[in-house]
């Protein structure tokens, strides 16, 4: 009986520790269309990105529809060789939004790699790049109730940036260099 109990506990522990792992897109690389920054979206060059990823301006982006907390989403992106996406221009924002629309036919609230948990009001990208592109929705970031430290996109009527509670589960965008 003890062996059965221990076996069940071990199985339950394994299930809980792997519950936040989202499987990666099918293995292998393929050539994905990539739009270079500053070019028209109709002019495409080709960058090698893993299957399921979208190339743009030297990086590859992946929409992961499985809702996770911000920290678990960041860990998931790191397991894929990247980070939650940083956004450095309106063109990048547009490409990411277009990718989400193409896959979901909607604009769900989606985690990006921005956070201000280390100092309120000082925003950083989890990939270490400078946070210079501001695309906040009106009245944001507002740190509502003193605890909103993570950046989501597609907020409000204009589908812009918003700060939200990091514990909320959202789909997310991973990015990696290519």
Q: What is the pLDDT of residue 47?
A: 52
Q: Is residue 112 part of a domain?
A: yes
Q: Is residue 44 part of a domain?
A: no
Q: CB-based burial of residue 148 (10 Å sphere; 0-12 exposed, 13-18 middle, 19+ buried)?
A: buried
What are the beta bridge partners of residue 163?
A: 151
Q: What is the pLDDT of residue 178?
A: 87
More confident residue, 8 or 153: 153
Name the residue among 14, 20, 18 with its Cα closest to residue 6: 14
Using pLDDT thresholds of 50, 70 and 90, give the confidence band for residue 46. Answer: low
Q: Is residue 90 part of a domain?
A: yes
Establish how many alpha carbons lie within 13 A of residue 172's alpha carbon, considering only the half-sphere containing its beta carbon: 32
CATH code for position 58:
3.10.100.10
Query: In 17-142, at which residue ranges do the beta strands (DSSP E only) sit?
Result: 29-35, 45-50, 54-56, 59-68, 83-84, 110-115, 124-125
Q: Is residue 45 part of a domain?
A: no
How many domains would you assign to the chain?
Answer: 1
Q: Is residue 114 part of a domain?
A: yes
Instruction: Give the tokens for residue 44.
Output: 């495409």
Q: Is residue 98 part of a domain?
A: yes
Q: What is the pLDDT of residue 15?
A: 39
| Measured distance CA(88)–CA(125) in Å, rounded | 10
Q: Residue 143 pLDDT more than 80?
A: yes
Range of the domain at 127: 54-177
Q: What percent of the chain has pLDDT over 90?
A: 71
The pLDDT tens digits for 59-105 are 999 999 999 999 999 999 999 999 999 999 999 999 999 999 999 99
More confident residue, 116 or 31: 116
């Amino acid at each position: 009986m003890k062996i059965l109990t221990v076996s069940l506990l071990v199985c339950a522990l394994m299930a809980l520790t792997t519950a936040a792992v989202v499987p990666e897109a099918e293995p292998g690389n393929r050539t994905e269309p990539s739009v270079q920054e500053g070019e028209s979206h109709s002019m495409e060059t080709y960058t090698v990105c893993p299957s399921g990823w979208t190339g743009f301006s030297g990086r590859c982006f992946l929409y992961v529809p499985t809702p996770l907390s911000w920290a678990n989403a960041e860990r998931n992106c790191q397991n894929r060789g990247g980070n939650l996406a940083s956004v450095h221009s309106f063109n990048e924002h547009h490409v990411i939004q277009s990718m989400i629309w193409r896959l979901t036919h909607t604009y769900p609230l989606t985690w990006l790699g921005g956070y201000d948990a280390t100092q309120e009001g000082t925003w950083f990208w989890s990939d270490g790049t400078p946070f210079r592109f501001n695309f906040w929705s009106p009245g944001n970031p507002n740190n509502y109730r003193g605890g909103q430290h993570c950046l989501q996109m597609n907020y409000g009527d204009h589908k812009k940036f918003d700060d939200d509670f990091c514990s909320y589960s959202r789909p997310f965008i991973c990015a990696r260099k290519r």
